[in-house]
Amino acid sequence: MYCLHLLRCPVCHMAMEREGATLRCAHSHTFDIAKEGYVNLLRKKLVGDTKEMVQARRSFLERGFYQPLADMLNTLVLVYLHDHASPINMLDAGCGEGYYLGRLQQSLQQQSCLLGFDVAKDAIRMAAKRYPAASFVVANLKERLVLADECIHVLLNIFAPRNPAEFARVIMQAGRLIVVIPGVEHMAQLRSTLPLLQIEENKQQHVVEQFTPYFTLLDVVPVSYELDLQGEEVQQLVMMTPNYWHLSDEARSAMNAIQALRTQIAFICLVFEKNAV
């Protein structure tokens, strides 16, 4: 665990030290480090993305379909890091199987501490095996984050639960928060073909309002393009999203019958700076 000094006990919020394959805090709360190198800091078992969803996401992302988004995130982070000396602490809050953190790691020239949190144990296990230079933690984003105060320079939140107050607590003064949400036209052609979940109306405005008490919006960066997908790739795109939980048997049959599809892909990157206290 390269970022151990940033972690805090989920029970008492004290710093932890490593003893062999265990993390222990001053109050003797202990947490085992898995053989893959990650640690589970959940206080109770929670349901996250299933193994099938995680595997579908990895297969889809490895084909480069969301590389334009990853490239934009790298650019936005590197612009911020240009004026900061190493080491840099970064958190991907809701990292899934680690794709975006892995892409960032490849582009960084300076020493950095890269952390990935996700509630899905299968996702964290896959991430830890693929990207051993980063530190991955099974953690609940909806509760107090298992991190020290003001220890993170850059926090990424990509299609994941948002916790504005806790993000503000752990991000340093003038630190960056980059939130990625789907654009209005995201998967438009696929949504017209299958009964998928719709994009929340005025989603961008609602997200900005969520963070306004703690952060100042610096930039809104759209990423939009079209994808030509074959049948299996369409299935992976649907399975890797919350739509997977809501598909009826009829909708699954319709999805499996699609041989090829051209669809719009649209993301919005919201770049925030933490407000001065």
What pairing do the DSSP bridges indicate for beta strands 112-118 and 88-93?
Answer: parallel
Flag residues of the chain having pLDDT under 70: 1, 85-86, 109-110
Instruction: Give pLDDT, residue 244.
Output: 78
Residues 63, 235 contacting (CB under 8 angstroms): no
The C-alpha atoms of residue 144 and residue 238 are separated, in whole angstroms, by 31
Domain CATH code at residue 139: 3.40.50.150
Instruction: Give pLDDT, residue 248.
Output: 87
Instruction: Give pLDDT, residue 111.
Output: 72
Instruction: Give pLDDT, residue 85.
Output: 67
User: How many domains does the chain divide into?
Assistant: 1
Instruction: Give pLDDT, residue 1.
Output: 61
Tell me the residue range of the domain where 222 lies. Answer: 4-274
Record the pTM. 0.95
